Homo-oligomer: A and B are copies of this chain.
Amino acid sequence: MRKTYFMAKDIINGYVTTETHKGITTIEFFHPQSNSLPRRILAELAREIHDAGRDNETKVIVLRSGGEKAFCAGASFDELTQIENEKKGFDFFSGFADVINAMRKCPKMIIGRIHGKCVGGGVGLAAAADYAIGVEGADVKLSELAVGIGPFVIGPALERRIGLAAFSHLAIDATMWRNSDWAKRKNLFAEVHSSVEAMDESISRLANQLAHSSPEAMAELKKIFWKGTADWDDLLNKRAEMSGKLVLSNFTKEAIVKFKSKR
């Protein structure tokens, strides 16, 4: 597994880094705007997850993001506002589809380190991790409906993880934050810790444990956890098309104008 280095410009444009240590591969993504992710970073993230899945040194993956505030604010709002046609709409929304599909098909267990708030696609990442460990304050929200779209692409990952009911509650009330305790009760997070230190200790403990567990047994477990999702390559792309069309509506255009005037 190559280690990715990065430079000052990455602080401005965002980055994805990958590092492997004693069987544990840590993949970190970052973007200065609350870790909201442009298409380019999502593509890179999907590729790094894919590569780590094939890397022999990697026994387990920790997915984390940089900074100390939001874990991930979803897809880049700046890019969203520039979508002019269905093709660009599809391209934009397929970003999280690619990452979720990479996580799904990766034969290694993925621990999600959820150190802060998750919005939209960010909730999808937490849901697609095999074992998400969060901290108090890592609240979640699906704000899609507020801009005239819906959490369609990440819907299957969310429904699989927290069930149809909790997913629909989250999707329907697009302005209400659900707190980290809610996220734990609904199984989005396996654990919630009272401090970042406690969270990191637990992640370190579990990651080490899995790095010393049977790779064959883990690969079989992963298959079983994700059985019945073979159609997601196709399904998530269809969902991206759906969002790609809705985002062209007047409703979305007006919502974007309102949002921008608030900033």
Give the B-binding residues of A (Cβ under 8 A).
109, 130-131, 144-146, 148-150, 152, 155, 160-166, 168-169, 171-175, 185-188, 190, 206, 209-210, 213-214, 216-218, 220-221, 224-225, 242, 246, 249, 251-252
Q: Which residues of B contact A221 (CB under 8 A)?
A: 145, 150, 168, 171-172
Q: Which residues of B contact A249 (CB under 8 A)?
A: 214, 216
* Known contacts A150-B218, A214-B251; 5 further A-B pairs (Cβ under 8 A): A152-B224, A165-B188, A166-B187, A172-B221, A216-B249
Our pick among B169, B217, B246 for the contact of A246 (Cβ within 8 Å) is B217
Q: Main secondary structure on chain A at its contact with chain B?
A: helix
- Residue contact B210 to A172, C-beta cutoff 8 Å: yes
Shortest A159–chain B CB gap in Å is 9
Most chain B CB neighbours (cut-off 10 Å) among A169, A217, A249: A217
Residue of B nearest to A155 (CB): B224
Q: Which of B164, B165, B206, B225 is within 8 Å of A164, CB to CB?
A: B225
Contact of A148 among B175, B185, B217 (CB under 8 A): B217
Q: Are A246 and B220 in contact (CB under 8 A)?
A: yes
